């Protein structure tokens, strides 16, 4: 009987983890460049007793949960500091806390100290892995390879000068990437990030949305709710069977 209960409890735990991922996706459906979290793949694990396997098996997660690399919708904004990568690729960013990471977020702004940051406050990095700092400018132009040309306000000739380069990379197919707790992409299991190769196609005046499909997530939530109810019914059935068995084993009264 305990095997039936443990099986139901394990199913509810796996169901809970999937619900957490879906709630995270729905909460970030309007965040530029957000990458949808996918259900974590798992494997069956058999308990052992006295150096021998038992018939009690559990579904366990194997490693960090993956994420979808499908491109989100590109929207033309005509804002000079809105950028997006068309197709594959990532920007290099330096979050406020943590190691350099990869990101698709392109709603940029110039901080009071001139540092170029995205909407989450992470500093945009150049190919040398240093934060990009821009002086005051009249206008700005960003090329398809990430070069940033500005016309400084104190430049009498008004000629455009190269003020920095947005570091980009298209990771190789065998690269193992994972999303951290801060939502940024890094190498899985402590592996190093691939170096910048400037192969990402940068679009100025365009913003990429998240790749979350709200309808798909809501339908998935309904399916998870049905699974939860099924697991609860299984636990109630196990309790009823256990109570029935206990009554049968009771000594007759009188």
Note whether 100 and 94 are within 8 A (CB): yes
User: Which of 45-54, 104-113, 134-143 shows the lowest mean pLDDT across its residues?
Assistant: 45-54
Task: For residue 219, give the H/E element and its range.
Answer: helix 214-249
Q: How many angstroms separate the CA atoms of 107 and 119, rounded?
A: 5
d(CA 225, CA 241): 24
Average pLDDT score over residue span 134-139: 90
Q: What are 149-164's pLDDT values in tens digits?
A: 999 887 766 688 999 9
As separate numbers, helices (DSSP H) first and strands (DSSP E) second, the chain gives 2, 17
The pLDDT tens digits for 65-121 are 788 889 999 999 999 999 999 999 999 999 987 789 999 999 999 999 999 999 999
Q: Please compute the mean of the pLDDT values over residues 138-143 and round it to a whole number.
A: 92
Q: Burial code of 4-38, b = ≥16 C-beta within 10 A, e = fewer?
A: eeebbebbbebbeebbebbebbeebbebbbbbbbe
Decide if 164 contacts 116 (C-beta within 8 A). Answer: yes
**pTM for the predicted model, two decimal places:** 0.77
The answer to whether 179 and 68 have CB atoms below 8 angstroms apart is no
pLDDT at 182: 82
What angle (nearest 5°) sits at the alpha carbon of residue 118, between those of residues 114 and 124? Answer: 65
Domain boundaries, the chain: 2-67+212-249, 74-208
Distance of alpha carbon 171 from alpha carbon 190, whole angstroms: 16
pLDDT in tens, 197-210: 999 999 999 999 99
Asked if residue 161 lies in contact with residue 142, where contact means CB atoms within 8 angstroms, the answer is no
Angle formed by the axes of helices 2-27 and 214-249, to 10°?
Answer: 160
């Amino acid at each position: 009987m305990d095997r039936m209960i443990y099986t139901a409890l394990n199913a509810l735990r796996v169901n809970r983890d999937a619900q957490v991922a879906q709630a995270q996706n729905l909460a970030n459906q309007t965040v530029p460049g957000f990458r949808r979290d996918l259900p974590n793949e798992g494997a069956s694990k058999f308990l052992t007793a006295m150096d021998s396997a038992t018939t009690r098996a559990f579904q366990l997660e194997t490693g960090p949960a993956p994420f979808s690399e499908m491109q989100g919708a590109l929207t033309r904004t005509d804002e000079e500091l809105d950028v997006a990568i068309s197709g594959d690729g990532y920007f290099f960013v330096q979050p406020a806390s943590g190691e350099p990471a990869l990101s698709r977020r392109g709603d940029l702004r110039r901080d009071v100290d001139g540092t170029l940051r995205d909407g989450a406050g992470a500093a945009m990095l150049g190919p040398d892995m240093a934060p990009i700092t821009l002086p005051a400018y009249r206008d700005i132009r960003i090329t398809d390879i990430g070069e940033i040309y500005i016309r400084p306000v104190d430049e009498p000739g008004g000629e455009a000068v190269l003020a920095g380069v947005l570091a980009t990379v298209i990771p190789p197919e065998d690269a193992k990437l994972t999303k951290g707790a801060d939502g940024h992409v890094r190498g899985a299991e402590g592996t190093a990030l691939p170096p910048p190769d400037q192969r990402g196609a940068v679009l100025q005046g365009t913003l990429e949305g998240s790749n979350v499909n709200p309808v798909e997530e809501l339908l998935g939530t309904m399916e998870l709710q049905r699974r939860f109810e099924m697991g609860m019914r299984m636990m109630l059935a196990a309790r009823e069977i256990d109570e029935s068995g206990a009554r049968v084993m009771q000594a007759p009264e009188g």
